[in-house]
């Protein structure tokens, strides 16, 4: 992995979009196409066997192909030529049937689908891990009270268990969208020059169905060269999923602030330190997640902009997609892997949470006091009275005038003012 990518991709996802992986995906298409055409009687079986035997990415010069791709406008053209030359060296007759009846975008689109299938498996594994970690964390802290915070200001108490369950629920919902989008995208692309498979004559539909079987992909209703809605759905779902991870990262990083000190990322050698300040424990994982989340929306917008493609084959739209899709997948993977590590090792300081509640000197219970006073003096009058009292730091005096000592004592117990927090927590964690 290049240094410039070290803060923007996990090694596993970087490998999916490596030169060798991309080449192999495209060669897998060519080999599967040859086998499908042999199965349907379009080309000789011997040609399919030879083509399949010679489609190993490691024997092709990726750097040279990259140079030629820049001139050709697509990687498929120089790769098909290189494969044809390689097959010709082994069997000139078989070389005639390389890429038979297909077009360059068929190879590129199907290869991208194969790469996305690998990418989705990587994301799915980390998604399972993070949900398990969040469920454990929420259950462990179901009764751990902490400040609610609205507009970054202290508010009535909540439980850490509820906060974590909120993260869990958002990620679960976001993944459902992403998983569905991935599933819809697992389709083969084979349309030929204008999306009619005219070059394959009456064999076109049979070849397409056989190709889908060979690659274990779905066979869509028609070629989709300039209809990028399925891929767009994956990009948008990644944007939402990464945004959900970013919300969690924002919360954790704020809880890590020194003056708050309620939670902290796991620490280790080389993690979270400062080059100049030995005392610091920085939110390293959160910073990577938030950086990824800063990039993804713009990339998603770029993909959506490219959906307006011309007629049956576009100019520039689909050529722009490869780099965009790879970047979105890498950012999503980095954000998820980083947040999984944070969730699995998050340390919680429950005593500091309690201390921060106590430090408000009961002000966060002004809403509760208002609800007690409202039946006696009216809601508006109670709100105005308490608002003025809190501004003048005379809340205790006002409460003493209107509430009994027992009511005042109970007023400041956070556990007795959690409302439906536990019900909501359990509902968010429900299967």
CATH code assigned at 89: 1.10.275.10
Q: pLDDT-based confidence at 274, cuts 50/70/90?
A: very low
pLDDT, tens digit (0-9, with 9 covering 90-100), for 202-252: 999 999 999 999 999 999 999 999 999 999 999 999 999 999 999 999 999
Shared domain for 286 and 330, answered yes or no, is yes
Q: Identify whether 15 is part of a domain.
A: yes
Distance CA 209, CA 244 (A): 38
Q: Catalytic positions, please? A: 274, 313
Q: Looking at 129-133, 301-305, 370-374, which range is the least confident one?
A: 370-374
Q: Which of 102-111, 126-135, 377-386 has the lowest mean pLDDT?
A: 377-386
Question: Do the beta carbons of residue 344 and residue 269 sit within 8 Å?
Answer: no
Q: Are residues 241 and 309 in the same domain?
A: yes
Q: Cα 5–65–76 angle (5° rounding)?
A: 100
- Give residue 277's pLDDT: 42
- Residue 307: φ, ψ to 5°: -70, -20
Per DSSP, the three-state class of 283 is: coil
Determine the pLDDT at residue 14. Answer: 95
Going from the C-alpha of 187 to that of each of 45, 184, 195, the distances in angstroms are: 25, 7, 15
Copy the structure tokens of residue 133: 């970690």
d(CA 310, CA 254): 47
Residue pair 47/93 in contact (Cβ under 8 Å)? The answer is: yes
47 & 126 share domain: no
Q: Is residue 299 part of a domain?
A: yes
1, two tokens: 């992995």
Both tokens of 244, joined, read 């959900």
Same domain, 136 and 238: yes
- Spatial CA neighbour of 248 closest among 137, 145, 128, 349: 137
pTM of structure: 0.93
Do 167 and 73 share a domain, yes or no? no
Is residue 23 assigned to a domain?
yes
**pLDDT tens for each residue of 387-419:** 888 887 777 777 888 888 888 888 889 999 999
Domain count, the chain: 3
- 152 and 300 share a domain? yes
Residues 5-33 pLDDT 10s: 778 889 999 999 999 999 999 999 999 99
1 falls within a domain? no
**pLDDT the model gives residue 410:** 84
pLDDT level of residue 386 (50, 70, 90 thresholds)? confident
For residue 279, what pLDDT band results from cuts at 50, 70 and 90?
very low
Q: Are residues 76 and 201 in the same domain?
A: yes
List strand residue ranges (DSSP E) for 275-354, in order: 347-348
Average pLDDT over residues 340-356: 97
Residue 154: helix, strand or coil by DSSP? strand
Verify that 119 and 165 share a domain, yes or no: yes
Range of the domain at 32: 8-102+194-220
Same domain? 205 vs 232: no
Are 431 and 334 members of one domain?
yes
DSSP 210-261: HHHHHHT-B--SS--TT--HHHHHHHHHHHHHHHHHHHHHHHHHHHTSTTT-
Q: Which of 202, 220, 238 is the last residue of a domain?
A: 220
Query: Residue 404: its pLDDT value, please?
Result: 85
Cβ pair 272, 288 in contact under 8 A:
no
At which residue do the structure tokens 């599967």 appear? 32
Give me the helices (H) in 141-220, please. 160-185, 204-215
**What average pLDDT does this structure show over 67-87?**
93
Q: What is the pLDDT of residue 407?
A: 84
- Say if 358 falls within a structural domain: no
Same-domain check for residues 332 and 386: no
Query: Of 295, 339, 329, 290, nearest to 18 (Cα)?
Result: 329
Listed in sequence order, the DSSP H helices in 256-283 are: none
- For the chain, what percent of residues have pLDDT higher than 90? 80
Q: What is the mean pLDDT of the chain?
A: 93
Q: Which of 103, 97, 110 lies closest to 212, judged by CA?
A: 110
The enclosing domain of 274 has a CATH number of 1.20.200.10
Q: Is 179 exposed, middle or buried (0-12, 13-18, 19+ CB in 10 A)?
A: middle
Are 24 and 164 within one domain? no
CB 156 within 8 A of CB 66: no
């Amino acid at each position: 992995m290049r240094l410039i990518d070290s803060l923007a991709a996990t090694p596993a996802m970087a490998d999916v979009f490596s030169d060798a992986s991309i080449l192999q995906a495209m060669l897998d298409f060519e080999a599967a196409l040859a086998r499908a055409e042999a199965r349907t009687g379009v080309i000789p079986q011997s040609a399919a066997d030879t083509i399949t035997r010679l489609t190993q990415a490691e024997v092709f010069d990726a750097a040279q192909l990259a140079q030629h791709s820049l001139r050709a406008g697509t990687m498929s053209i120089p790769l098909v030529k290189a494969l044809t030359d390689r097959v010709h060296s082994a069997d000139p007759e078989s070389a005639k049937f390389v890429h038979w009846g297909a077009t360059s975008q068929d190879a590129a689109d199907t290869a991208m689908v194969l790469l996305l299938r690998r990418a989705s498996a990587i994301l799915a594994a980390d998604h399972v891990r993070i949900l398990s970690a969040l469920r454990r964390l929420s259950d462990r802290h179901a009764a751990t009270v902490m400040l609610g915070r609205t507009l970054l200001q202290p508010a009535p108490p909540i439980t850490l268990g509820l906060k974590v369950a909120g993260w869990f629920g958002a990620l679960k919902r976001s993944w459902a969208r992403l998983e569905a989008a991935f599933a819809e995208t697992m389709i083969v692309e084979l349309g030929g020059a204008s999306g009619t498979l005219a070059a394959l004559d009456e064999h076109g539909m049979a070849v397409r169905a056989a190709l889908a079987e060979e690659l274990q992909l779905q066979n869509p209703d028609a070629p989709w060269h300039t209809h990028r809605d399925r891929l767009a759905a994956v990009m948008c779902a990644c944007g939402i999923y990464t945004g959900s991870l970013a919300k969690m990262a924002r919360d954790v990083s704020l809880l890590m602030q020194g003056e708050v000190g309620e939670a902290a990322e796991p620490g280790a050698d080389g993690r979270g330190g400062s080059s100049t300040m030995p005392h610091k424990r920085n939110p390293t994982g959160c910073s990577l997640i938030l950086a990824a989340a800063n990039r993804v929306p713009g990339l998603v917008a770029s993909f959506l902009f490219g959906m307006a493609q011309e007629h049956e084959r576009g100019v520039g739209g689909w050529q722009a997609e490869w780099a965009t899709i790879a970047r979105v997948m890498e950012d999503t993977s980095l954000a998820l892997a980083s947040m999984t590590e944070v969730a699995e090792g998050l340390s919680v300081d429950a005593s500091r949470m309690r201390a921060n509640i106590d430090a408000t000197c009961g002000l966060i219970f002004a809403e509760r006091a208002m609800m007690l006073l409202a039946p006696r003096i009216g809601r508006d009058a109670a709100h105005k009275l308490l608002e003025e009292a809190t501004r003048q730091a005379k809340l205790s005096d006002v409460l003493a005038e209107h509430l009994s000592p027992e009511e005042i004592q109970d007023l400041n117990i956070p556990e007795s003012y959690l409302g439906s927090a536990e019900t909501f927590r359990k509902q968010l964690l429900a299967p």
